[in-house]
Structure 1
């Protein structure tokens, strides 16, 4: 008979002592972990919990403090590889959308596993559902893919009803790699567009309708207008900087005038002024990726501290980074 254990992710899913008792009755061991590093039980339950731990029926896995889920899950998988006997089957119970990443790691380590994904009490009681704003969706490529897939699903006569069929459908509709499809599947569940039970899935019609009826075009038009305004702002900044420099050259003989102009010129750092000129020359070829912009500035200004330069450009409002794209404007500030 195959040995079976339970791996319980207690992040957003804190179990009761009764639940722990029920699990250890039917499984050889119960492994607990929490990526937030917390475990909460009533004082009256601690004695019995300590007894379960000392008997080896409940094992608490160590999870490092980090913001990267991949690393946290990798440490959990590493501990299971060291603790479990060969051919042990793992029942994974989790309320986290990211648990699909954990399942992929377990399977890639040749560990037999099965996911039981549940909803937290808070999510079950939350009757009001708020769809992300149009601006949020436009600023997050992954949400744009979710929207695109919802638009495709509403036109389907037969919708995917299993996890595997849903992943294949995402791959075919969006032309993405399987790993990306797995991530999007988790987002569909987290956004309550899809409900999952074991290996079966079904779409929530109301949620799907909300997403499919969302109009992103109007916001896109507004964004295009903003980019045109940004280019105009850059032209003005460049022209103003040149005017100040020219005035300085022609008025050097007048100490009082020179002092006044120098005070104005100090408001635009010479290097920043040159950056504005260079970027303005690129027109529509300006880098939209923050790392591409960093690399470009390093080539243009090898003697400058580019990270400090970027920081000052953002703080002074010359550029705006929303976490995904760079927008060029002195009137917009980093959130």
Structure 2
């Protein structure tokens, strides 16, 4: 009743003294802004209403988080974007995996279904093509698939997690540095003079080396194209310039293989989440079909066809 009475009195004031009413309204607006910025609980309530009830409203940011390998606390990142208006879409599917890291095919299908649903919401609710924030601990095929879904996103905001001996030690999740050049050197054994068959294997060695024997045994392919740094190591992706360099290099090889008549690529990668997602973004429908393999307990146990989302399992 008091709220109704206050609103009624405000309308009466507007009619009788417009100038005073405008000043009062401005004070209320500025007070609301100050309260919103100061009190996290108010931000949470406001964002919950916008995100869950007023679903037609676009959001300045959409934070897409995927946890399938392990969980991590990212509350500080959420607090930062909560104030600016952010829709949080989290996919936590760790419980669908067995203790040894294996997973049943039906559970993988459940994950892909959830991914598709979340992807549609993210695209629909984002204010523009620069609204996406991506982080988490997904398996490599899932991160590539997330990136493939968001290939029309212009400049996603990417996060990595600090690790031992990392230059960003102690930061937890951190946004990649906004650097525009890098001294990183990517090497490859790709040779334009070689004749490649209809199907080839590509290995991307960023965090760890990948043995050709394991690739050949699971794919039955002898042609393995390597891409990566000379001495693969963890925690070495920490800025946007490195991501851009990898994207251009990978895209160039995809285009050349397509021109040479390659129709299918078997992809094996030891890439951190930001790089996996970013490489997935440069893959288009006109490129060769790409199957991304998952490595678990010294063997490849499942893979995802990015174009068809077919799941392939190996015994």
Q: Fold conserved (TM > 0.5)?
A: no
Q: Report which of the two has the higher share of strand.
A: 2
Higher relative contact order (CA 8 A, sep 6+): 2
Q: Smaller-chain TM-score range?
A: 0.3 to 0.5
Q: Report which of the two has the higher share of helix.
A: 1
Which has the higher Rg, Structure 1 or Structure 2? Answer: 1
- Could you state the TM-score of these two structures normalised by the residue count of structure 1? 0.34
